[in-house]
């Protein structure tokens, strides 16, 4: 079993003073494969001070220079691409072919595209007698989850660095390898000492210490809504800027006349991608009541084609969940669904695959009550709720009928009618007839799904402050 390095502070790898050991498991077998000596509050404080010291120099560099560093980091990540993909598949459970493309190649592309954004970004403008500048907000604390580790880190760290902020990253200890390899890439790219720092530790102590640090100016958190509310309250009480990317319970709305087969294929793919461990997954399929049985037949056929197995096996199309705790959480929700009276179409709470791994079968419920727990709460597992509706107004009401508003999809006879329904859905991102994910478009949610936006130039906004320099008005 390997032992990981968990602290990168002020340009150097640091051994925690009083580490506690955390065992990262292989999600397909349940066996420990990586021991992580977790950092403590002391390392969190040192990292914040290092970031503060480095801020003056980094924030005053020309943005083009900072963009050059982003490009070098992308090069170093690309050199580690295969290693990152294998580690993420082992830890999180996404099949390797998908990890290579989604978990690694897409984030690397995001680093490169953001670097190019710098040239066209309006860092300064003149308004009357004022020179208006956009300047770095300060020391940024970036706290990220385990489900898309490199992607979630990239969505925070890359724009923070380009904006001129210095960073302290606290990735999830459950799936730390991508963050560790990123720190190695940043070290190889020769980023100035203290500009990027990483501490891997438990959220209850290290995460709380970072949010509370007097050196922290910006808090960017992705994770559960419950923890996000706590972090948001703590940050705002200290008048710190805060961005929260939280949960979702996204709806896929099938309109009459739409291509049912295409809608089913895309919705099933979204719901079961990464074993359902996706905040923006389409987990509620809202369909015309008269077409529910047709939809269920196609869904059942699609699910039968999903091979559940070891994510490193090239034949696997869906892997395990990240941990035993996550598996048990999902199984509890499946039992809740059965108890609520929803019709179990396929799957269920019984063990599947390797008994030692964290597998759950792709599960589909029909005739789901929109007010039931499985239709209202984020399960974060491979569970699809099919909900029938009578008319378009009811479909929109159901789609908007949860506290969340992260993502959604609309499938219709034509793009124009689909667009009109999509505009009625209270969500930060709505796909229309299969519109693909756009790395340059803003990503974030309404309601309990969070505050702020990530991706592209929009991701810079939460790491920048406006400054107005009022100049004398000259006569003549």
147 and 165 Cβ atoms separated by less than 8 Å: no
Determine the pLDDT at residue 355.
80
DSSP 440-452: TS-B--EETTEES
Q: What is the pLDDT of residues 403-423, one digit of tens each?
A: 999 999 999 999 999 999 999
**Does the structure show a pLDDT above 90 at 1?**
no
Band of residue 206 on the pLDDT scale cut at 50, 70, 90: very high
Residues catalogued as catalytic: 245
Determine the pLDDT at residue 104.
98
- The two beta strands, 139-143 and 166-170, are parallel
Compute the average pLDDT of residues 136-151.
98
Compute the average pLDDT of residues 185-214.
96
Domain-by-domain residue ranges, the chain? 2-246+449-468, 250-438
Phi-psi region of 164 (alpha: psi -120 to 50; beta: other; left: phi over 0): left
Helices 392-399 and 415-422: angle between axes, nearest 10 degrees: 50
**Structure tokens belonging to residue 274:** 């990464």
Determine the pLDDT at residue 351.
81
**Cα gap 140→219, rounded to integer Å:** 6
DSSP 403-414: SEESEEEEE-SS
**Structure tokens belonging to residue 21:** 């050991």
Compute the average pLDDT of residues 235-251.
96
**Cα gap 120→131, rounded to integer Å:** 18
Q: Where are the beta strands (DSSP E) in 202-312?
A: 218-222, 241-245, 250-254, 282-288
* Main-chain dihedrals φ then ψ at residue 204, nearest 5 degrees: -65, -30
**Cα gap 37→24, rounded to integer Å:** 11
**Cα gap 438→297, rounded to integer Å:** 31
Band of residue 429 on the pLDDT scale cut at 50, 70, 90: very high
Residue 192's CB is within 10 A of a number of other CB atoms, namely 14
**Cα gap 271→299, rounded to integer Å:** 11
**Does the structure show a pLDDT above 70 at 136?**
yes
Task: Give the least confident one: 45-49, 185-189, 203-207, 430-434.
Answer: 203-207
Strand order in the sheet with 218-222: 12-14, 7-9, 196-199, 166-170, 139-143, 218-222, 241-245, 450-451
Give Cβ neighbours of residue 433 (< 8 Å, ≥ 6 apart): 258, 410, 411, 412, 415, 418
252 and 270 Cβ atoms separated by less than 8 Å: yes
Cα separation values, 381 from 137, 182, 298, 346, 472, Å: 36, 27, 21, 14, 60
Give Cβ neighbours of residue 35 (< 8 Å, ≥ 6 apart): 1, 2, 3, 4, 21, 22, 23, 24
Q: Give the global pTM.
A: 0.96
Q: What percent of the chain stands above pLDDT 70?
A: 100
Determine the pLDDT at residue 453.
96
CATH topology of domain 250-438: Aldehyde Dehydrogenase; Chain A, domain 2 (3.40.309)
Which of 386, 379, 382, 291 minimizes the C-alpha distance to 342?
A: 386
**Does the structure show a pLDDT above 80 at 475?**
no
Q: Could you tell me the CATH superfamily of domain 2-246+449-468? A: Aldehyde Dehydrogenase; Chain A, domain 1 (3.40.605.10)
35 and 25 Cβ atoms separated by less than 8 Å: no
Band of residue 19 on the pLDDT scale cut at 50, 70, 90: confident
Determine the pLDDT at residue 473.
85
**Taking all residues of the chain, what is their mean pLDDT, rounded to a whole number?**
96
**Cα gap 436→417, rounded to integer Å:** 18
- The two beta strands, 383-389 and 343-346, are unpaired
**Does the structure show a pLDDT above 80 at 353?**
no
Q: What percent of the chain stands above pLDDT 90?
A: 96
Determine the pLDDT at residue 203.
87
**Cα gap 183→163, rounded to integer Å:** 19
**Does the structure show a pLDDT above 70 at 476?**
no
Q: What is the pLDDT of residues 264-318, one digit of tens each?
A: 999 999 999 999 999 999 999 999 999 999 999 999 999 999 999 999 999 999 9
């Amino acid at each position: 079993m390997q032992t990981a390095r968990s602290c990168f502070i002020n340009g150097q790898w640091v051994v925690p003073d009083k580490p506690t050991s955390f065992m990262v498991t292989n999600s397909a077998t349940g066996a420990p494969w990586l021991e992580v000596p977790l950092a403590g509050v002391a390392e969190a404080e040192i990292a914040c001070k290092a970031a503060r010291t480095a801020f003056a120099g980094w924030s005053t560099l020309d943005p083009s220079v900072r963009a050059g560093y982003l490009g070098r980091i992308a090069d170093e990540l690309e050199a580690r691409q295969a290693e990152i993909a294998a580690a993420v598949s082992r830890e999180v459970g996404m099949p390797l072919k998908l990890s290579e493309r989604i978990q690694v190649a897409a984030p690397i592309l995001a680093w490169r595209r953001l670097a190019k954004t710098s040239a066209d970004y309006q860092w300064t403008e003149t308004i009357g007698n004022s020179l208006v500048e956009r300047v770095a907000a300060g020391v940024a604390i970036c706290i990220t989850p385990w489900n898309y580790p490199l992607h979630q880190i990239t969505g925070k760290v890359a724009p923070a660095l380009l904006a001129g902020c210095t960073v302290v990253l606290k990735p999830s200890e459950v799936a730390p390898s991508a963050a560790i390899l990123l720190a190695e890439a940043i070290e190889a790219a020769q980023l100035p000492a203290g500009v990027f720092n990483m501490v891997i530790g438990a959220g209850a102590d290290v995460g709380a210490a970072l949010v509370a640090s007097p050196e922290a100016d910006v808090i960017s958190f992705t994770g559960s809504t419950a923890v996000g509310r706590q972090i948001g309250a703590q940050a705002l009480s200290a008048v710190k800027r805060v961005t929260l990317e939280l949960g979702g319970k996204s709806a896929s709305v099938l309109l009459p006349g739409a291509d049912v087969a295409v809608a089913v294929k895309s919705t099933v793919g979204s719901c079961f991608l990464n074993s359902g461990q996706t905040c923006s997954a389409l987990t509620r399929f809202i369909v015309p009541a008269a077409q529910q049985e047709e939809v269920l037949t196609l869904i059942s056929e699609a699910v039968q084609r999903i091979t559940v197995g070891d994510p490193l096996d090239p034949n696997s199309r869906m892997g395990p969940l990240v941990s035993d705790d996550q598996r048990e959480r999902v199984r509890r929700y499946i039992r809740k669904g059965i108890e609520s009276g929803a019709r179990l179409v396929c799957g269920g709470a019984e063990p599947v695959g390797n008994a030692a791994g964290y597998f759950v079968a792709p599960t589909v419920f029909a005739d789901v009550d929109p007010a039931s727990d499985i239709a209202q709460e984020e399960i974060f597992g491979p569970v699809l709720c099919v909900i029938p509706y009578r008319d378009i107004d009811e479909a929109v009401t159901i789609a908007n009928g949860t506290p969340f508003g992260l993502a959604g999809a609309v499938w219709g006879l034509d793009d124009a009618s689909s667009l009109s329904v999509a505009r009625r859905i209270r969500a930060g991102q709505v796909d229309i007839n299969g519109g693909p994910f756009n790395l340059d478009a803003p990503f974030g949610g309404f309601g309990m799904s969070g505050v702020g936006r990530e991706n592209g130039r929009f991701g810079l906004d939460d790491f920048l402050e406006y400054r107005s320099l009022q100049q004398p008005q000259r006569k003549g």
